[in-house]
Amino acid sequence: MDILDFKIDFTDLTINQSDGDFEKVNRIMNEEFHGESKWTLRSEVTITSQAGMGAMVVQFHMDRSVYIIDYYPSIGDLFYNPDIRAISMWAQEHGWKVPQPHFDLVKNSKDFWKHFYDTLIIDSDYLDKQYGKRPQLSSEKEKDEDEEDDDYENNL
């Protein structure tokens, strides 16, 4: 197993039923709520890699956003942590946006999350406010923000 080999398991039935594909999740949720409600799914996530087993609680929103609410790393090494890379790769491959950690997580471990923010593995509205928008993403994020009704805090 190399650094990019990982297995992700979810506790949420809808995520499992749809293999995590956003379009399938959205279809299931719109059928369930007849398209009349905003939806959020919350799942405990287990990521298994050569580093061990990491766990997190993640929210998936109908606007494709993914929020890491709680996180228990498989390894404490900042530069070798495969969990955050794995959830970010998985999310983007399945039609979701780049994940964002909850602002409380960022506040409590700013250096840890800033590394992943600087390397474009995660997004963070909180770090955008602290350091300014990353130049390589500012025009893309501004376009996305114009399309979204809810801000980060309202999604939690």
Model pLDDT, residue 146: 55
Lowest mean pLDDT among 11-15, 30-34, 87-91, 92-96: 30-34
Banded pLDDT at 97 (limits 50, 70, 90): very high
Separation of alpha carbons 84 and 107, rounded Å: 17
Q: Is the pLDDT of residue 5 over 90?
A: no
Q: Report residue 87 CA to chain centroid gap.
A: 7
- Closest by Cα among 116, 140, 139, 143 to 127: 116
Statement: the pTM of the whole predicted model exceeds 0.75: yes
Mean pLDDT of 120-136: 89
Report CA-CA distances (Å) from 5 to 32, 49, 66, 85.
34, 6, 21, 11
Structure tokens at 42: 């919350």
Banded pLDDT at 37 (limits 50, 70, 90): confident
Structure tokens at 67: 């929020």
**At residue 86, what is the residue type?**
A
Q: Is the pLDDT of residue 49 over 70?
A: yes
Q: Is the pLDDT of residue 86 over 50?
A: yes
